[in-house]
Every structure is written in structure tokens, then in C-alpha cells.
Amino acid sequence: MDYEIFDLGDVTLQSGVTLPNAFLAYKTYGRLNEKKDNVIVYPTAFGDQHVQNEWLIGNGMALDPQKYFIIVPNLLGNGLSSSPSNTPPPFDRANFPQVTIYDNVTFQHRLVTETFGIQKIALVVGWSMGGIQAFQWGASYPDMVERIAPFAGVAKTWPQTYVVLDGMKAALMAAVRFDSSKLDQLTSSDMRAVGRVYAGWGVSQAFYREELYRELGFDSLEDFVTGVWEDSFMKMDPHNVLAMLWTGQHADISANPVYNGDFDAALGGIKALACIMPGSTDLFCPADDNEYEAKLIPHADFTPIESIWGHFAGRGINRADNHFIDDNLKRLLALRTNE
């Protein structure tokens, strides 16, 4: 086990349900300095675990463990933190309660403050659903978070993204003929169709047209769809995926008692210096949605990743995109805050 566990105890979720013996799985990189001001929080995305974040952490990079103390908390539902697959009855599998982005960030705040005594965070950064968590950190704890850098992630699930996630959910529901009473019959093999649905959204039309999958070692389109999309989704537990899909579909940084659904006010409440990096050809989290959000955040730079890798421009696969993200993080971290 290359990660640690933070016991949350019995937690009451936004839904009102109490999840007993909840826990966050997390991993840290580097050392916390004496002033406790070298902290970077880097939440995981949908379906990812902390190891999938490690491509952006390294000596000489913006997220340099020689310089910063980097905390990677795992999303609830991802199989390491409290999830349908590791929670005993009565909240196992299809009975796992609904967890929001706000819940996740609230628990991460407990981890940061209770375990480490941290009061200032230099940067919250994240890809996709990790990016939504970065926005949420900025909105929920504006006096604590100095910088945020969401890439290929939006501050709420706009209608386009909701529909994509709904298509993924429908693929699983079809496996049990849309009978929610039979959800516990789902197996990992039912995830094959989910991978096929996501294949059309993860990368751009130009990626497919120019056959960039050949750069990844696949000789044909079919090999790529099978070897990447089907394979990666079939490794996931279907009940974990349904839990994370719910979290994703209902993500909104204003859906909490602080902002009461006023999305523009939530964006305006972010005091952090923000570098917002959508993928220019992202079909899943379109750049236009981020552009709207950036205009309402007082100290935000809108800096698209010019790439035909679509949503996966932020996935750590394409070298040029990786350099762009890392360079912008270095620039952001070099900026002085008003604190």
C-alpha cells in the first residue's frame, strides 16, 4: 500500500445521509516546511487514483517535491477512499450514498488542517474532476487558497458535460435493462460499453482523423478503442463508476450553503490567483464554459492548451501539452499573492 488513510469517522453528507467510518486515502510527496506554507493540493479525477497524478510531480518540475509538500487526496468513490467497493453493508455497491464535490473538498480540508495543521495552501491544481475540486477549494476557502490551476475541468457540470456523463451511465443501466433494483448484478465486463461511449469524447475529431493513436502504439482505430477505452474502463468497479458519475453530474461550486446556488457569486468569491487551462479541442469540458467562468473570477488568466488531444490534453500523455501545463504552473507559482 503506497498511500495513507485519514479516518473521517461518521460523516454527514450534503444529502443528509450519515456515512459511517468514512475515510480518505491520500499520498504525500516532499516535506512540509517549518512555516507550513509550501503546500500544494492535487485532487484526483474521475476514475483516477493518486498514481495517475504522478506524471506532473518531479524534481525540476513545477510540482517539485524538493520544494513543495504535495498532497494528493483520492476522490470518494474511486476505490481507495470510501467507495461502493470497500464500504460494508448497508452502504455497499449500489447502496452507496450520493457524494458531492463539496463533500469531497470539505473532507480534504479536514485532512489538511487536522493531520498537518496547514492554514495556507500555495496551490490547488487538478485535471477534469480534479479541476472542479480546485475551483471548489477556491470558492469554499478563499482566504486559505492562494492559487488555483484547473486544467480541462470546469467549475460546474454544464449541460454538455452532463449529457456525456449521462450517456456513460445509460450504458451501465442498459446492462440491467434500466432496472435499478438489479444494479448489484453489474460486473466489470459491463464497463466495456461505457468505454465505447467515452471513446468519442475523450479526444478530438482531429485526433482520430490524424490517427494520433498510432503514436501510442496502436495500428488501427479498433485496436485503440479496445486497448485504451475498453481496457481502462473494464478495470473499474461499475458501482464505483456510478457513484463517481453521480458526483460528476451534480458538480457545482455554488451548490452549498455558502452560495445557495448563485454560481456567478461563487466564481466571484474566489480570491486566489487562477490559471485556467482548458483543452482547445475538448469535447467533454468545452473551453467556452471555462472562458465564461474565468471572466467572473477576479484574478484569473484564461490560458487554453492549444492541442488536438481534446480532454486528454490534460492527461499527461502528450509531451507538448505536459510542458505547457508545467510551464504555466511554474509561472503561476512565481507570482506573488496579496497575502
Positions marked catalytic:
128, 282, 311
322 to each of 65, 151, 314, how far by Cα in Å?
18, 11, 7
Closest CA to 126 of 116, 138, 115, 114: 138
Which phi and psi (to 5°) does residue 282 adopt?
Answer: -70, 120
Residues 6+ apart with CB under 8 A from 156: 132, 251, 252, 253, 254, 255, 263
**CB-count exposure of residue 32 (10 Å: 0-12, 13-18, 19+):** middle
Q: How many Cα atoms occupy the beta-carbon half-sphere of 339 within 13 Å?
A: 17
**Which residues, at least 6 apart from 198, have a Cβ–Cβ distance to it below 8 Å?**
164, 168, 229, 233
Distance (Å) of CA 38 to CA 35, 63, 113, 152, 191: 8, 11, 14, 25, 40
Q: Which three cell numbers stand for residue 147?
A: 492559487
Place of cell 448497508: 90
Encoded amino acid at 194, one letter: V
Grid coordinates given for 258: 455558502
Contacts of 319 (CB under 8 A, 6+ apart): none
Measured distance CA(335)–CA(180) in Å, rounded = 50
Q: What angle do CA 264, 43, 241 make, to 5 degrees?
A: 95
Give the list of residues 6+ apart from residue 1 with CB closer than 8 angstroms, or none. none
